[in-house]
Structure 1
């Protein structure tokens, strides 16, 4: 789920950069890309993978 969020943020950052949109200082394409990289790092670390299935015997 975090990887999907990262992909969406990368797409938004690309659109902001490609359209050369002027945004405020917080919502720049670099900041959005860095948030996407943080989500991707959390996904690779194994956080947000969903429920860990417990087995019953």
Structure 2
């Protein structure tokens, strides 16, 4: 799930960079890139994978 979110954030960052768009002073290309990298890191850590140990 986090990989999909990261891909969407990177896509938005690319579109904003190409169109030279900034949404206010908070959401910039750098902010979207950093959020995307955070989601990739969480995905690689296994967060949100839906795995749980078997219970007996």
Shift of 1:55: 6.2
Cα RMSD after superposing both structures: 1.5
TM-score, scaled to structure 2: 0.86
What does residue 24 of structure 1 align with? 24
TM-score, scaled to structure 1: 0.85
Q: Which has the larger radius of gyration?
A: 1
What does residue 13 of structure 1 align with? 13
Alignment length (residue pairs)? 56
Show CA shifts across 1:15-55 (max 9, x none). Answer: 00011113211110110110010011000011110142626
Structure 1 unaligned segments of length 5 or more: list them: none
Structure 2 unaligned segments of length 5 or more: list them: none
